[in-house]
């Protein structure tokens, strides 16, 4: 009981502390969509970041595990708002490990928008990602994700 109380108090302090740190450091969270899984982001500076995903596809003909990495640029001045709503874009690569079929390698073009909380160390994002599959054959897919990440100090 004592451990649960201490853990709860620590979580409440972390959640209500004025962190404001989503544009630096490392964030880890979940994304839901196509594919669904774990999302990570590492900020290089105030405008540039790398993001990574390890996810599973449920809507393809063959289920597949997906791994991606992207370089992202954030434009904080596109949307005028009281909230921090950067629009971001970038490029990257995706590996897809398909059950009962050929594995695939594709190039990603990322476009998205994020909400960065002023009070909590979290972000929420929505992104559209055209993927041009290169191997084993060429084709075009669209990944879409809604997600959130918690940022660690």
Q: What is the pLDDT of residues 54-74, one digit of tens each?
A: 999 887 666 889 999 999 999
Q: Which residue, chain included where needed, has tokens 């909590």?
A: 120
129: which 2 tokens? 């990602």
Parse the chain into domains and list their residue ranges: 19-152
Distance of CA 102 to the CA centre of its chain: 26
Q: What is the pLDDT of residues 123-135, one digit of tens each?
A: 999 999 999 999 9
- 3-state SS, one letter per residue, for 80-147: CCCCECCEEEEEEEEEEEECCCCCEEEEEEEEEEEEECCCCCEEEEEEEEEEEEEECCCEEEEEEEEE
The class of domain 19-152 in CATH terms is mainly beta
The yes-or-no verdict on residue 20 having pLDDT over 70 is: no
């Amino acid at each position: 009981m004592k451990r649960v109380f201490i853990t709860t108090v620590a979580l409440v302090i972390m959640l209500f502390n004025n962190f404001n740190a989503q544009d630096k450091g490392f964030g880890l969270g979940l994304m839901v969509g196509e594919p669904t899984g774990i999302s990570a982001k590492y900020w290089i500076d105030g405008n540039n970041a790398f993001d990574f995903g390890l996810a599973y596809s449920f809507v393809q003909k063959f289920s597949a595990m997906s791994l991606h990495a992207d370089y992202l640029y954030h434009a904080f001045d596109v949307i005028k708002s009281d909230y921090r709503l950067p629009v971001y874009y970038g490029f990257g690569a995706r590996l897809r490990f398909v059950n009962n079929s050929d594995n695939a390698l594709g190039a990603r073009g990322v476009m998205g928008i994020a909400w960065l909380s002023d009070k909590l160390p979290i972000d929420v994002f929505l992104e559209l990602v055209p993927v041009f599959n290169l191997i084993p054959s060429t084709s075009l897919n669209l990944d879409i994700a809604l997600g959130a990440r918690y940022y660690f100090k």
